[in-house]
Structure 1
Amino acid sequence: MSGFDRLHPALQHHIVNSLGWPRLRPLQEATIEPVLRGEHAILLAPTAGGKTEAACFPVLSRMLSENWDGISVLYLCPIKALLNNLLPRFEYYAGLLGRRVALWHGDVSASREAKIVAEPPDILLTTPESLEAMLVSSRIDHRWLLGQVRSVIVDEVHAFAGDDRGWHLLSLVERIQGLTGQEIQRLGLSATVGNPEALCDWLAGSCQARRSVINPLAEGAKPSDVQLDWVGSLKSAAIVISRLHRGEKRLVFVDSRSRVELLAMELRGLGVNTFVSHSSLSLEERKAAETAFAEGSDCVIVATSTLELGIDVGDLDRVIQVDAPFSVSSFLQRIGRTRRRADVARNCLFLATTEEAFLRSIGLLALWRAGFVEPIEPPALPLHIYAQQIMALCLQERGIIQADIDRWIGKMPGFERIEPEQCSAVLRYMLETGILHSDGGLLGIGDRGERTFGYQHFMELVSVFTTPPMVKVFHGRQELGEVHELTFAVGDTDSPALLTLGGRN
């Protein structure tokens, strides 16, 4: 019996008749049985390799077969743009089966959030920061809203695991598991990771269910077409891009916002239909550019790493890398963007503008050809995340006794490695400095904690990273995006600073 044959009959019907798929891809077929058995797993495949459906289909099958109710699936992504991009696909798949999907992140309106709380969907697409906001909110009954979660899917799991957001994410899953009273299935999706078994253990933590790395051989993969050329300057790179592969859709990666804008201006000056995408642009500007590019044919989109992850910009013909990324993992993410069409081999043209970038490109490609991918190493000793989680638990539970801290988050892998004396020292410091206070052994937020973190319902607590001071940029009444305040530092000269954003000066 194949994996497909084990899916719920309604899902089988829609895969064949509504989606028109003659068969599942190898990863999708291989994932079904482990997920139906409740295993924790890491799913590995190149970009556009069908990872989303590989996780989604068996989880939907379990939802139907086991009559899951309420928010039973959490789908977590590192960036809001990826969630926005995935929403229509999830709505379609779930809608075929009579199930509902909702989106919750920082750009979602308060009225939309209120509707989600009043009428919980079956699948919630969100970020760790938004999950934290739900758990600490005094206006949300988190036990009712999240107490029926059965599965958590983490997209681009490698993007979390290597920094503090990964420990934060795992702490949240532990706390939600505490609300449900049962083990939550954990699935991680990635295109690039050098130590998948270790990553699977990191994700599963102290869970008892079996864990698997699912990484079948890709079917009929064509050899990758990778070339390296020396151009010497950004202007020369623009000339090469304008003359090569005319009539095709080209995604160009550049290492900074300023160089994205400069290259885009050069390309437009050469008559190339050019769009830009980077994190400084407003959501509306980026969406308009990415949509226009996805619907175009003979055009170029110049981007930073914002388009490295699985955001859909349609069928690409070419990936061009100006200079070199700083990891094989990043390169694999980028070259994988050309795998959406069966007739297109993975391809990437490196255009080096400096000697350093040329040498780095040679080294990176040598590592790639040798099969090397960087291992993911979570940060050691996350004491600051431990302190944040104690404060979050005080808000979530409206007060907590010290003995219960370990029950909620003590089994999270990052905290398990902290010596008990160190945990006690963190708690003691928080009490001595007034960040926390104790009322007969019941811990709560202290005066200093209120003053430092209490602004806007403790919004400072929901994130484990901070953003620098940003300045909004307008062209007339149209908001183009945000840039760092130091962008306008012009030294002693009286001349105004020239800013290029979204192709406008």
Structure 2
Amino acid sequence: MAGESSSFHLLEERIQRFIWSEGWEELRDAQEQAIPLILKGDCDVIISAATAAGKTEAAFLPALTHLLAAGGEGLIVYISPLKALINDQFGRLDRLCEQLEVPVWPWHGDVSASTKTRFLAKRHGVLLITPESLEALLCNRGSSVAAIFKHVTFFVVDELHAFIGSERGKQLQSLMHRIERALNRQVPRVGLSATLGDMKLAGGFLRPGGEPAQVNSESAGSELKVLVKGYEEPLVVQGEKDGNEEDDEPVTPGQIAADLFKVLRGSNNLVFPNSRRQVERYTHLLNKMCEQRKVPNEFWPHHGSLSKEIRTETEAALKQKELPATAICTNTLELGIDIGAVKSVGQIGPPPSVASLRQRLGRSGRRKGEPAILRGYSVEDALGPNANLREKLRLDTLQMAAMISLLVEKWFEPPRVQGLHLSTLVQQLLSSIAQTGGASAGQLYALLCGPGTPFTGLTKQEFIELLRHLGQKELVVQDSSGVLLHGRVGEKFVNHYSFYAAFASEEEFRVVAGGRTLGTLPVDQVLLPGQRILFAGKTWRVDEVDEQQKTIYVTRAKGGVPPAFSGGTGRTHTKVRQRMRDLLDASTELAFLDETAKKLVAEGRDAYVRLNLTTEFAIDQGRELILLTWLGDSANEAIACLLIRRGFVATASGPGVEVVKGDRSTENILDALEDAAVDDTPPLDILLADVKNLAREKWDWSLPEGLLRKAYASLYLDLDEGLAWVREATAARRD
């Protein structure tokens, strides 16, 4: 190895011996590239490489060499999104570091106080920590931050893509920045990820305003085998139910479970349905099949609502080599917890994103010579007289096909770095006050919102407005010398363990009809009275949205077809929607579809031609007008807001916008679009004046209205793309 490798000989001698003893035949491409960059310890580095391409070692081998060359007293801070990943890395690093006499310190909620005390006494080696534990450290040991991190030589951020575009991501940026401010120096940051759609954007996230060195390992990877099986849920003609009767169980989950049972038994696999409820459904069906056939159970559930014991049991079943095991899971097993190689990945329904699909598929085909296998399952309802546009166009099957075709082309969504996440700014303000014991408005603005900081999108005037509002909410108070301290309410929050998480646990709205709770619904789009939603297989009209009580009051919608689109599993990118349209416009067969899936695509294409959708964008559905934009959710939501501003009930829905006609005509709606095309772009205070449920993040409730709208727009609206479509569509109509 030493003769062929330009990087191997740069590593510390004991690390070289460890590599020999492990039987490595060669360094991976990512490691060859990263070692000379990280070794110097004078720049930020971002490493993008496939799952199992040796990214962790690409960071740690040179970082440890650097640390040892400086006398071994340095500190590498490894930050992970998951406690389970920390436990994994501890197992991987501890053997190597023991030979180097470098201590490794795991630090999260399940780690004993004695381990943490020993680290605080020594303060060198490798610290493995979550953002929440790092937050707690800064809040509770504020006066010691500079001493604790005095010898820090690197921040290593694992699964970087999992942080980008989220509240936790902003929190992490802020925590690293605050430590650097306490030390009065920059600490080199190393970001690791398997899924980065745009290295430049990701680099700007790793250090706002920075340009890290890039390692992009495009190793050939394994062969990819894909099969998508189509299923059709039979049409059930029923009389009107009184609402108390249980819905009939659908037929297709049983059929899909039977196929999974047949093809997965005897090997390790991951299966991703698109919700926790579906995880439970498929696990139950598969467990029942094992029981009926009197064979050992091989199917295990894994999602965030399950207890730690059940999740650990599933992970252990996947790791042990004696018996085969398949996990039915949500994205909890999408990240790099070491569960060993899996033979195949099952995806039921379209995945949340192409990037997510790539991450999931990275679990399969890890062994040399083995292909990565993707088994897709797509379900469509049989077409009846009341079929909606989504059903007619077979959009779920089209979306899965579009995402797979983009995956094959190695395209995936660019990181969403534009979000202001002002909710997290509120948390970081309160945390910084806890760390320092109090600070002036000027000091806090310079720390969090000045040039090169995580919250640069806020002006001084807006910051003052925010502080005044936080004062009214009793989150902060100002003493006579101008120092900001925690207010009565702020102190309560900061002293509770839940404060350290920048995100709220997933909250769902209760759906209530006639005083009876029907269930709960996650809400990730604008809701308005008059709008129709699909819930528990029925169509409901929204009467009222109570944001304080997180409740949607509904009544049954009589007559008419169901809503055209009922939302997806994630926020869909414009590129995916446009690929769906391209597939509808084409006539070529997709080789990775089975006969039923091909038939579904053919039906979608027939409807596309029959409805004249090659040229028409406004589809009259009687009570509603559908504007088919084929844009992503952020642009569609912007178009919906432009129409809401003009008095319409409009909803971003699937590949378009659904507008309730009420007493207006199609012409009235299209005229309103024409007005929007020529008018000046409205300020957010006007555009979002009538829009409810803008508060989506943990501390959004504490923001003044204007800043809440600004924060919401930065995350959920693409006004430029939406307006560009409106102008193009109305110009074509005039022609």
Range class of TM-score, shorter chain: 0.7 to 0.9
Question: Is the contact between residue 170 and residue 412 of structure 1 (CA under 8 Å) also seen in structure 2?
Answer: no
Partners of 2:344 and 2:364 within 8 A in 1: yes
* SS of 1:244 mapped into structure 2: helix
| Conservation of the 8 A alpha-carbon contact between 1:147 and 1:176 | no
- Looking at structure 2, the residues matched to 85 and 173 of structure 1 have their Cα atoms a distance apart, in angstroms, of 23
Match for residue 97 of structure 2?
94
The 2-side partners of 1:402 and 1:139 are apart by 18
Question: Equivalent residue for 2:502?
Answer: 464
**What is the identity, as a one-letter code, of the residue corresponding to 2:459?**
E
User: Would you say 1:400 and 2:445 are equivalent positions?
Assistant: no
Deviation, structure 1 residue 435: 2.4
CA contact (8 A) 2:478 2:485 kept: yes
Name the residue aligned to 1:316.
Answer: 342
**Alignment-derived partner of residue 305 in structure 2:** 280
- For residue 153 of structure 2, the aligned residue among 150, 155, 158 is 150
Conservation of the 8 A alpha-carbon contact between 2:272 and 2:328: yes
> Does structure 1 retain, via aligned residues, the 8 Å contact 2:343–2:372?
no
- Conserved 8 A contact 2:208-2:454: no
Q: Of the candidates 483, 486, 501, which is equivalent to residue 442 of structure 1?
A: 483
1:60, CA displacement in angstroms? 0.8
Deviation at 1:461, TM superposition (A): 3.3
Amino acid at match of 2:62: P
- Inter-partner Cα distance in structure 2 for 1:393 and 1:166: 17
The yes-or-no answer on 1:225 pairing with 2:225 is yes
> Which residue number corresponds to residue 188 of structure 1?
191
Q: CA deviation at 1:194?
A: 1.1
Kept after mapping to 2: 8 A contact 1:163/1:379 = no
What's the secondary structure of 2:415's corresponding residue?
Answer: coil
With CA pairs under 8 Å and 6+ residues apart, which has the higher RCO, 1 or 2?
1
Change (3 A) 1:113 1:294: same
Greater than 6 Å deviation, 4+ residue runs = 484-487
The code of the aligned residue for 2:258 comes to I
CA-CA distance at 1:140 after TM superposition:
7.6
Q: Distance in 2 between matches of 1:445 and 1:223?
A: 57
The within-5 A match list for 1:289-328 is 289-295=314-320, 296-328=322-354
Are the counterparts in 2 of residues 43 and 187 from structure 1 also a CA contact under 8 Å? yes
Tell me how far 1:400 sits from its aligned partner: 1.7
Per-residue deviation, 1:6: 1.2
Letter in 2 for 1:330: S
Tell me the secondary structure at the aligned position of residue 175 of structure 1: helix
What pairs up with 1:112-131 in 2 under 5 angstroms? 112-131=115-134
Where does 1:399-418 land on structure 2 (aligned, <5 Å)? 399-409=438-448, 410-418=450-458
In structure 1, C-alpha distance between the alignment counterparts of 2:128 and 2:337, rounded to whole Å: 15
1:314 Cα deviation after fit: 1.6
Q: For 1:416-450, what per-residue CA distance to the aligned partner results, in whole angstroms no more than 9, with x for missing partners?
A: 23222222222333345542223312222123322
Aligned counterpart, 2:374:
348
* Aligned counterpart in structure 1 of residue 271 of structure 2, from 240, 252, 271: 252
Query: 2:223, 2:370 within 8 Å by CA — same for their partners in 1?
Result: no
> Which structure 1 segments of 5+ residues have no match?
470-483, 494-505
Please list, as runs of the form range in 1=range in 2, the aligned pairs for 1:29-68 lying within 5 A after superposition: 29-37=32-40, 38-68=42-72
CA deviations over 1:247-267 (Å, ceiling 9, x no partner): 322221111222112212222
1: CA distance, partners of 2:445 / 2:139? 18
- The match for 1:478 is none
Output the CA distance in 1 between the equivalents of 2:310 and 2:433. Answer: 39
In the alignment, the residues of structure 1 paired with residue 486 and residue 142 of structure 2 have an alpha-carbon distance, to the nearest angstrom, of 17
Change (3 A) 1:148 1:206: farther
Distance 1:238 1:254 in 2: 11
CA shift for structure 1 position 122: 1.3
User: What runs of 5+ residues in structure 2 fail to find an aligned partner?
Assistant: 233-251, 291-296, 381-393, 518-735
Q: Does the CA-based 8 Å contact 2:44-2:190 persist in structure 1? A: yes
* Amino acid in the other structure paired with 2:48: L
* 1:14–1:438 Cα change, 3 Å: same
- Aligned counterpart for 2:8 among listed residues 4, 7, 14: 4
Q: Within 2, Cα distance between the matches of 1:310 and 1:140?
A: 35
Q: Which has the larger radius of gyration?
A: 2
What's the counterpart of residue 477 of structure 1? none
Which stretch shows the higher mean deviation, 78-87 or 150-159?
78-87
Q: Quick one: distance in 2 between partners of 1:137 and 1:217? A: 43
Equivalent of 2:258, from 216, 239, 245?
239
Aligned residues of 2:146 and 2:182 also touching (Cα < 8 A): yes
| Matched AA of 2:426 | A
For residue 376 of structure 1, give the secondary structure of its aligned residue in structure 2: coil
For 1:101 and 1:385, how far apart are their aligned partners in 2?
A: 30
1:479 paired residue number: none
For 2:315 and 2:323, locate their aligned partners in 1 and report how far apart those are by CA, in whole Å: 13
- The alpha-carbon deviation at position 102 of structure 1 amounts to 1.5
The answer to whether the Cα contact below 8 Å between 2:142 and 2:435 also exists between their aligned partners in 1 is no
* 1:496 equivalent in structure 2: none
Distance in 2, Cα, partners of 1:404 & 1:236: 62
- AA aligned opposite 1:230: G
Q: How far does residue 100 in structure 1 lie from its aligned partner after superposition? A: 1.2
C-alpha displacement of 1:246: 4.1
Over residues 445-464 of structure 1, what are the superposed CA-to-partner deviations in whole Å (9 max), with x where a residue is unaligned? Answer: 1233224x14xx24343222
Count of equivalent residues: 472
Give distance in 2, aligned partners of 1:140 and 1:306. 36
Q: Structure 1 pair 175/215, CA: closer, same or farther in 2 (3 Å)? A: same
Specify the SS of the correspondent of 1:171.
helix
Instruction: Identify the match of residue 73 of structure 2 among 69, 73, 80.
Output: 69
Which residue identity lines up with residue 448 of structure 1 in the other structure? V
Question: How many angstroms apart in 2 are the aligned matches of 1:226 and 1:311?
Answer: 24
| 8 Å CA contact retained: 1:102, 1:125 | yes
TM-score (norm 2): 0.60
Rounded to whole Å, the distance in 1 between the matches of 2:421 and 2:375 is 40
Secondary structure in 1 aligned to 2:454? helix
Contact 1:158 1:192 in 2 (8 A): yes
SS of the residue corresponding to residue 102 of structure 1 reads strand
CA contact (8 A) 1:225 1:345 kept: yes
> Which of 146, 152, 163 is 1:160 aligned to?
163
Task: Give me the whole-angstrom Cα distance separating, in 2, the residues matched to 1:411 and 1:74.
Answer: 25
**What is the CA-CA distance between 1:407 and the residue it aligns to?**
4.6
Q: Distance in 1 between matches of 2:71 and 2:431?
A: 32
SS at match of 1:39: coil
* Pair 1:377-2:381 in alignment: no
SS in 2 for 1:202: helix
The alignment status of 1:335 with 2:336, answered yes or no, reads no
- CA drift at 1:114: 3.2
Contact 2:72 2:102 in 1 (8 A): no
Preserved contact between residue 162 and residue 379 of structure 1 (Cα < 8 Å): yes
C-alpha deviations, 1:260-299, integer Å up to 9, x for none? 1221222222225211211111112111121122214433
CA 1:246–1:393 in 2, change beyond 3 Å: closer, same or farther?
Answer: closer
Q: CA RMSD in A?
A: 2.7
Contact 2:445 2:463 in 1 (8 A): no
Q: Please tell me the residue identity of whatever aligns with 1:136.
A: C
1:420-499 aligned at under 5 Å gives the runs: 420-431=460-471, 433-439=473-479, 440-451=481-492, 453-454=493-494, 457-467=495-505
Letter in 1 for 2:427: Q
SS at match of 1:353: strand
Question: Which deviates further from its counterpart, 167-176 or 357-366?
Answer: 357-366
For 1:292 and 1:485, locate their aligned partners in 2 and report how far apart those are by CA, in whole Å.
35
Task: Give the Cα separation in 1 of the matches to 2:47 and 2:269.
Answer: 28
Q: Secondary structure at the match of 2:15?
A: helix
